[in-house]
Structure 1
């Protein structure tokens, strides 16, 4: 009763999203996980893993490279990257299979297909996701930087006629929890089952399965 009276008097402030119709409101439930590396290691432990964007070239650092870290905990680690120079470099640290085309993955099965911070780099997202649909994996984890993370929104500089955006120069787009999930389900055969926010919400991660594989 008190809430109704306060609402009538305009003393309860509505959330900004309620100022827009239902058509514009996209609800995405998520779980927060602090450490990105620990999360990837946990889901990959003792599994046969296919890791997209494995080279992290040209900012490769062996002490920080995810592929090298995963090689220590996986049953088998397979790398996928179109950067042949980066693959040649990574082979010095992890001597396991590497691929550069979706066709080369035919007749191969993986427990986990991990696609971390890769989708924002690709030239054609639809083509990439259609190719990802052909990968035979039990589960997919696809991540991208979260455009709505507080640290991402606050570190840019605005003036009257200029913006300095702090972003990787090879990124082609920013993703939100909804838009990453939306593109995955729109352009692939994958169904997003869970959404995670990693590293203090700076990364969006979609866990998905292939709808066409029983």
Structure 2
């Protein structure tokens, strides 16, 4: 993984632009729905993912030498990663398209289906692809570090040879957490509004299984892409 790239300024602009769009969407959803679940968790999550490189630049000087595999991973895969903006963009875009004026998760847009999947499957698949690719690339890159000792460092080196398994397990854990969060937000919004038509979050078991399927499609595509890079 390269530590510096001529694309860094461009990637920084992309991250900041995405954050502004996320903030605008959060403000619009707050004004439209008047419920914190429609904007606060999404704004916090995307702020963390989009601005994490800047936070790391503030915490670690440019000449800082990593003391352990955790620091090295954060600096290599986040702060100095020329592709980081691409990895986190799908998550931000998935929230941006929940704007009240062009919400793909409900209404006429949400009702569209192709082979059983709706438009919301696109951000799900794209986010799963990016997350799985980031996990696989992280183990591939950091697994070559031989200067660190300890169980975590050994695990990372072992993971270099199991990127498909580990990315699938981690995606599964994230999916469970995400779907549980969606269910809890849906229940809270229903309790407050009393009508699913007035809520931003849309949830059903059928929708959950579609999300899982979309995530598996994204993971499969990411692993095929990862394998192609090894040839």
Normalising to structure 2: TM-score of the pair?
0.29
Give the structure with the higher percent helix: 2
Give the structure with the higher percent strand: 1
Normalising to structure 1: TM-score of the pair?
0.30
